[in-house]
Structure 1
Amino acid sequence: MTDLGLPEGILACLFDLDGVVTKTAVVHAAAWKEMFDAFLREREGPHFRPFDAAAEYDEYVDGRPRADGVRTFLAARGIELPEGGPDDPPDAATVHGLGNRKNALLLEKIRTGGVEAYDGTLRYLEAVRAQGLRTAIVSSSANCRDVLRAIDAEHLFDVRVDGVVAAERGLPGKPRPDTFLAAARDLGVRAEQAAVFEDALAGMDAGRSGGFGYVVGVDRVGQTDALYAHGADIVVRDLADLGGEA
């Protein structure tokens, strides 16, 4: 399996979506910033401090389920809001209201700008499957299936554990390893037989705490040291760097 850049004994590959398969991480960051900045500007007035779409996005939001991202960032700023519920309108001053506002902004940005895939990842997926390894997409996004269909990549995954599936099964999101562990079980492999591919620090934490056989950090934004610190076994700029080219 050396041509895939994976150790012996790996039988399955578990891929994050945003930032690993698709070029949507930057779109997510922009949607979070637009939502949080509007909220903070109204709440903090002259003391307004904008959301940092690099450092604060990486630390508190990236890779987490939407509501968890809202809670984690607001806690870091010393702000508490009512939870509300998943059906809260986007203008509600609740955790779920802010999350729904972010999602509305994201969908609008995707609608107007489209979705692009990383070609290196798609080629790597094809190579992985050609060698008989099983594959899963593991994403906190509730829009995962629609995004995969938009890039015609749904057929590249045997299993999907996304925000919708996690909610149905009551699985906590990253940095907890539960969604990755569920995907491994669905594929019929043990954690130590699966490799995790992630670009988020929360995803690295999940890979490390879940006891997975190999954790690949994908560095799209210059955070190689942080990915290693959070548990990566190897960090690459693109999955094409691992091998698997025809």
Structure 2
Amino acid sequence: MPELPASIRACLFDLDGVLTDTAALHAAAWKESFDEYLLVGGSAADAAYRPFDIDGDYRTFVDGKRRADGVSSFFDSRGLEVPIEVQRQVAATKTARFDDLVRTQGLEVYPDVIGYLNYLRAAGIHRAVVSASEHCKDLVEAAGIADYFESRVDGQRATADGLAGKPAPDTYLAAASDLGYAAADCAVFEDAISGLQAGAAGGFGAVVGVNRRSLDSQPFFAAGATVVVESFDDLAH
């Protein structure tokens, strides 16, 4: 059973797809928003305007990134020059769709999360949540896990402090600094390729790929994961 290095003194967690089962809601909201544009922007026969693919496009170009970065990354991948005001509208539509999905479907914490957070707290290992979401505060409070975290670095904090989004390591480095530790003393927990790349770029002591959907683990390792698990129960504790 894999375990974190003994030197780890703090754990830095992504939110969506790691702590809460909201990654699927984000992906669905992005698909609706992008497809709405693609449907009116051109013909589906044109590869550039083919529907947004959750398994391919979401994980590769959008997952883990701030909204504006995800929008531009996806359109760039299709070779589409989309006016900035249209990109902003797509991002705004995504936020509205996601909020609707949370209201109608609810917010669930993965069943292994509370036990692992309790273990870390009892062991004296500090904890932070790091998310590109501008609604991170509301989401962790709605999920009932806000009190487990001593630091929250989210989309609002990144904008206020001028922190580059994932795959840059800035937000994770800020969380480590908040907790009073160097990157080498911290473990990053991520499900997104961009987040794993951020962990690797920041020189963190461990980068844990959280593979909730039992996908091929090779892309996780290629992006910088030092260990890949499907559940926190797979980690020694």
Is it true that 1:209 corresponds to 2:201 in the alignment? yes
The answer (yes or no) to whether the contact 2:2–2:234 under 8 Å persists in 1 is: no
Runs of 5+ unmatched residues, structure 2: none
Question: Quick one: which of 215, 218, 224 aligns to 1:231?
Answer: 224
Alignment coverage as a number of residue pairs: 233
Aligned to 1:43: 41
Indicate if the aligned counterparts of 1:192 and 1:213 stay in contact, CA closer than 8 A: yes
TM-score norm. by structure 1 comes to 0.92
Letter of the 2:28 partner, please give it: A
Q: Does 1:17 align with 2:9?
A: no
RMSD between aligned residues:
1.3
Offset, 1:81: 2.1
- Secondary structure of the residue aligned to 2:157 is helix
User: Who is 1:29 aligned against?
Assistant: 27
Return the TM-score normalized by structure 2.
0.95
In structure 1, give the amino acid aligned to 2:127: T
Return the offset for 1:45. 2.9
| Aligned residues of 1:124 and 1:243 also touching (Cα < 8 A) | no
Preserved CA contact (<8 Å) 2:210 2:228: yes
4+ long deviations beyond 6 Å: none
Per-residue deviation, 1:46: 4.6
Contact 2:8–2:185 under 8 Å retained in 1: yes
State how far apart, in whole Å, the 1-side matches of 2:2 and 2:151 are: 20
Q: Measure, in 2, the Cα distance between the counterparts of 1:25 and 1:243.
A: 25
Tell me the distance in 1 between the aligned counterparts of 2:192 and 2:216: 9
Identical residues among aligned pairs (%)? 47
SS in structure 2 of the partner of residue 13 of structure 1 = strand
Counterpart secondary structure, 1:195: strand
| 1:134 aligned residue (111, 116, 126) | 126
Determine the structure 2 residue equivalent to 1:59: 60
Gaps of 5+ in 1: 85-93
